């Protein structure tokens, strides 16, 4: 995707240069044409041809750019949005120190694994997500007992590879409801190993979210769990139904956990509301009309992020007035 963006930027830059050159030459030509015509008929003719050539080249460049990137640009933007929503970020940082499979990243500010933090004790060996996906493909035929052992590992990347392999197994079983149900039940009985936000976010929508869409919603029993990560599974799994314009489960689960004290849940709630608004703004606005004044500020900020400035201001002021009256 980055390579496509680089090519797009180069073509866009060339198109702008050509357009500016054409405009500059046309302006000069319009002003100087009478003088040039008097001085030399040949020079005037040459300027005519140059202007025509620049106009034709500019039109051709515009046509080429928009025929190649007009539709792709919106598609890539949506992909980048989804990546950002899933906790990824696009970066130009040099990757010279990164080996194909491992790198010396023992702690990451995005994963709170310090003493007293939600991921305390989580150990990282620095395997990047693309490499984890390669490893996961090698575990597709492994017995579920092996996957269970990976999920019990204290190494974060072991657990991530196990979950990515389950997602891929589930995807391959799309025509086998019994196998999908078996994988989903295995997933739900091993939530002790699904104990960081990325582990939830990269797996729950594709397994539990699909079960919700098939009418086998297991999330009600997760909502009142004492396990933070099971509660996040209940909320984030609704991403897949939301993408398919099925909002009821998401609104129910977010509503149930709306006053959750943990920041990770408040962000997850706001994230699902924002995703709902991207598909159906009226559904989001109805929810905000009912809850904006009382929901946590973090949740509200996430939920209104894509609204028009006036709407965003309206709902933030609802929250402000309520806070001031307390």
Span 244-281, pLDDT tens digits: 999 999 999 999 999 999 999 999 999 999 999 999 99
Per DSSP, 139 falls in state T
Span 281-305, pLDDT tens digits: 999 999 999 999 999 999 999 999 9
How far, in Å, are 182, 189, 196, 301 from residue 209 at the CA level?
A: 15, 16, 18, 25
Cα gap 156→118, rounded to integer Å: 14
pLDDT for the residue 4: 58
Please, which residues bridge with residue 155 across strands? 123
pLDDT for the residue 34: 73
**Are 159 and 194 within 8 A, CB to CB?**
yes
Query: What fold is seen in the domain 194-325?
Result: 1.25.10
pLDDT for the residue 87: 41
Segments of the chain with pLDDT less than 70: 1-6, 8, 29, 33, 36-38, 65-114, 116, 321-326
How far, in Å, are 83, 288, 322 from residue 3 at the CA level?
A: 16, 40, 48
pLDDT for the residue 89: 35
Coil/strand/helix, residue 73: helix
pLDDT for the residue 42: 73
pLDDT for the residue 268: 97
Cα gap 221→236, rounded to integer Å: 15
- Whether the model clears a pTM of 0.75, i.e. scores above it, the answer is no
pLDDT for the residue 150: 93
Cα gap 11→15, rounded to integer Å: 6
Enumerate the domain spans of the chain.
Answer: 2-85, 96-181, 194-325
């Amino acid at each position: 995707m980055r390579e496509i963006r680089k090519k797009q930027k180069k073509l866009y830059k060339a198109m702008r240069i050509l357009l500016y050159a054409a405009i500059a030459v046309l302006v000069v030509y319009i002003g100087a044409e009478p003088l040039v015509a008097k001085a030399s008929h040949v020079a005037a003719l040459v300027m005519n041809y140059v202007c025509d050539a620049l106009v034709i080249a500019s039109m051709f460049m515009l046509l080429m750019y928009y025929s190649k990137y007009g539709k792709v640009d919106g598609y890539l933007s949506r992909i980048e949005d989804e990546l950002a929503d899933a906790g990824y970020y696009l970066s130009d940082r040099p990757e010279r120190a990164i080996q194909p499979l491992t790198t010396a990243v023992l702690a990451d500010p995005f994963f709170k694994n310090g003493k007293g933090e939600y991921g305390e004790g989580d150990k990282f060996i620095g395997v990047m997500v693309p490499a984890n996906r390669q490893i996961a493909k090698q575990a597709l035929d492994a017995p579920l007992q092996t996957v269970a052992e990976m999920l019990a590992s204290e190494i974060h990347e072991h657990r991530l590879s196990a979950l990515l392999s389950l997602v891929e197994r589930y995807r391959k079983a799309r025509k086998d409801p019994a196998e999908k149900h078996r994988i989903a039940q295995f997933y739900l009985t091993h939530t002790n190993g699904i104990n960081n936000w990325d582990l939830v976010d990269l797996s729950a929508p594709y397994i539990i979210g699909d079960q919700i869409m098939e009418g086998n919603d297991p999330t009600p029993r997760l909502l009142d769990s004492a396990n933070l990560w099971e509660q996040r599974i209940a909320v984030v799994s609704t991403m897949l139904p939301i993408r398919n314009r099925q909002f009821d489960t998401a609104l129910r689960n977010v509503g149930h956990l709306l006053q959750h004290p943990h920041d990770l849940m408040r962000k997850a709630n706001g994230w699902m509301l924002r995703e709902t608004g991207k598909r159906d703004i009226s559904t989001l606005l109805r929810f905000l009309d009912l809850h904006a004044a009382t929901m946590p500020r973090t949740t509200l900020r996430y939920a209104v992020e894509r609204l028009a400035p006036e709407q965003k201001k309206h709902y933030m002021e609802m929250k402000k007035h309520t806070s001031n009256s307390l």
